[in-house]
Structure 1
Amino acid sequence: MNPHDVVATVWRMESARIVATLARMVGDLGLAEELAQDTMVVALERWPVDGVPGHPASWLTATAKHRALDLLRRQRRYQEKLGLLPPPETAEPNLDDYVGDDLLRLIFTTCHPVLAAESRVALTLRLLGGLTTDEIARAYLVPPDTVGKRITRAKRALAERRVPIELPPPAEAAHRLATVLEVIYLIFNEGYAATGGDDWTRPELCAEALRLGRILAGLAPAEPEVHGLVALMELQASRIPARTAADGSPILLQDQDRRRWDRLLVRRGLAALARTEGTFGPYALQAAIAACHARAAEPGDTDWDRIATLYQVLAYVAPSPVVELNRAVAVGHASGPERALAIVDTLTLPGYALLPAVRGDLLARLGRSAEAHAEFVRAAALTRNAAERAIFSARADSLRTPPPAGPHRSA
């Protein structure tokens, strides 16, 4: 692989950890980002000349930490010369560091109460999820400029309020938990179904979200929604091996070879779901829906009635147009496309490609091919993911009405 490509790949996988580590060291989010970017530039300059190191991720992390230490030493020497600092004291271990994970520390920091809820999510997704501004905008169905302003305001607020890059006390952490769970799940979702680019999935984001979720489960073992989120991610991640063909083309749920599903992740997901028994939080409900698919050996064995009921409860607990759209899909399988279409026709989701895609599928099942064709064309135009666009375009082509045959003319 080209050294520049290696840098890009490793950076995509490791940048969040590097920024988190640097943020803990220097105590400044903006400075941590600058140092991390400088490290990537150094790699782009040196690896083509010196060769790719044997452990590229470790090289990036070590180089970034050395640059941060050099900067801190220079700052300290300068302040000592000005008489602004007392003699250095021996550092003591932080006995309140009850997790000891830089990424988790930074997630709780970027979910600080001084930030508006939407800014917390946008900043955390940008820094720790590796999502671009466009990807975050797509996840929240808002313009990219709006997301960019949220991120800028969030960084400014953290700097102006001098928010420390640290884990909050356990009691305060509980209040930030809902936002942290939302952020982790959005990171997972971007890995499970990439909003843009050529890749159908980004497994490294799924793996990172799962890692963070499992850490949270250890941190808050009595919180059912933490286990609900872990269960949901484990069960959905179990399908990733079956979601793409050998050539990388996507395979939809109903066409997947379920023998390729990761049974270990299924077992882990079901075990985590068991720890939410008797609760009705949004993540536990979604995990219960995913479990219906995991327990079905074949698509025809899926309990769509139960799924439709669970979505109805979810729509009450956490109402949103996207939940209603998913409920419509379940109703379409359980009770027929006509009832599902009645639900879909009440929804407004500007710019959301799955709305016309679901509507197109229901129309096709009702034999309304021309309308279905138009909906899939619209869905293909809305999506930014190349693999998803190919699926919608193929469906549109399959529904194209052939032109009427004209009078025969001999050559």
Structure 2
Amino acid sequence: MASPPQQNEKYRVVLRMRGMFPNDLAGYEAHRLRKGGDISHVDRGRSHLNKTFIGKDTWAAEALEWIQEIRLQNFLDEVTALRKRKRKKDAERRLAEGPKDPWRATRHGPLREIILTANSAYFDDEMAEFFGENREAEFQACAENWLRKEFKGDIIHARVDRDETAFHVHAVLLPIERVEMTRTNKKTGETKVIAVRHMLQPSKHDLIKDYEQAQDSAGAAFSVVNLQRGERRAAAIRHARAAGQPLPKRRYYARTSEWRAEQELKLEAQKAELNEREEALDRRDGRLDTRDAALAVREAEIDSIHAAIEGVESGALTFDASGDVPRLEATAPEEKLAPETARLMQRLMASPKGAKRATTLVGRLFGALKRRTRADAEQAMSRDIAEIRKARDMLQGFVSRLSGKVATSGKTTLKGLARSLMALRRHETPDHGEEYPPDRD
């Protein structure tokens, strides 16, 4: 039931999407069950009102099992296809490499978390309740219809949370795509399917490929519950860039640990500003004789910290710990720096003291990311070892029932798996001083 005309205030539907890796699911479930993560803002007295409306309670464990089965099946199919085509060396190489993740390398991950909500005032509207509206139920129904229509059966979990500031929907997308590997005969031009792989491929969905299209789609779907499309920030940024105007500030959604590190950086800037104001008051009252040059140094220090904040939030600056002294640097090569990034670097380096303080705090932010990368790498290594062992055990059962050339081929495969397993075991636990490579891009 739509709101009466006098209460027809247009709120915006909020749609956010965040990339996830399979290893993130355990932490996601711990937070869903309010057993882990940052739950300081959660009203535990209302957690029993959170409800799942797509997927079982065991959805995360089942998703990990599907992914493991896909990884192993792709591996066995690839080795079998190479042997059928008599590409012995390639088959041996693949056996030595072991199973691979069924997705292309990406810093975002092959899964997506989808969040849908609106301003809390939209759900708390007393007049809407007076006129018989149940905005939470209507929003949930609209969200479920939109998720099922746009993403079909790839939504493996969706729930509503009622124990935080505003009512909102969480959903998880597991985009499994059947990919055909083909080969074309140069003489006849005939194309033949030589193998089939199953991959986790978010781009199979148009709304994942085009974020603005996703916002348009959500705006149209939620218009029936008196909500409109989110702010057109991407279009505003393009227009400002074309007109040579200052760019609107990008929205930046961070993980809790990253957000806290950035808040600490902002607090440092606020502290520096407060100290400067106190010094200015003391100077005005005649209690402090500070020269103008000293004041200029202080202002440069404050501006340097502000430049670091702006650069990290926009993605223009990153943290480099590869040298003897950690430093903040531009993400783009020097010869390709955008004008606004060049100005940020000038502001940052104008005060060596401010740059040092900002670098220390940003280092804590990137340290949190690094620790997460290390844990992910160790989990991936253990997972690969377990899957190769599983493939070996499966093949042992097959080989025991075979004879002749087929049995010989199976035993060769087993040897290759054993070599892969031993190679992984040798590198299973890196030294604590060893650096893991950065997230795949």
TM-score by length of 2: 0.23
> Which structure shows the bigger proportion of residues in helix conformation?
1
Larger radius of gyration: 2
Q: Which has the higher contact order (CA 8 A, sep 6+)?
A: 2
